[in-house]
Structure 1
């Protein structure tokens, strides 16, 4: 199931950021590897994206398969 949210932060050096779900709830962390587009293009704060929800190695929720809308 695809979800939608807005990028709240992205650290280009560390390669991770957070997305705020439109449906509410806690912000989800995402990694550069979750992008479904060219890795040299980074998301910008305020950008609306679609994503899937998965879990990290630590079993925390995260955003996966980020895509531009």
Structure 2
């Protein structure tokens, strides 16, 4: 099930960053390879994502997809329900 959040930071040189979940909880790390498009994310951009357990059991964000500003709250809720 997809979740939503905003990019906290991204370092293009290292190819890694973090995303803050809208629902609260821990900030999740992600890698460049987890992005679904080639554009580098910017701070505060909204993304949908899935989660996966990383080594050591810590969760990380995967399958990050940029969300358009025109996407409504209803569309986001529908996407979260599946």
Tell me if both proteins adopt one fold, taking TM over 0.5 as the criterion.
Answer: yes
How many residue pairs get matched? 67
Query: Aligned equivalents of 2:53 and 2:15: distance in 1?
Result: 17
Partner of 2:20: 20
- In the alignment, the residues of structure 1 paired with residue 25 and residue 57 of structure 2 have an alpha-carbon distance, to the nearest angstrom, of 17
Could you tell me the TM-score, scaled by structure 1's length? 0.91
Q: Which has the higher strand share?
A: 1
* Runs of at least 5 residues in structure 2 that lack an aligned partner in the other structure: 68-82
Residue of structure 2 equivalent to 1:4: 4
Matched, 1:65 2:63: yes
What is the TM-score when the length of structure 2 is the normalising length? 0.78
How much is the aligned-residue C-alpha RMSD, in angstroms?
Answer: 0.8
Bigger Rg, which one: 2
Runs ≥4 in structure 1, deviation > 4 angstroms?
none
**Distance of 2:57 and 2:32 partners within structure 1:** 18
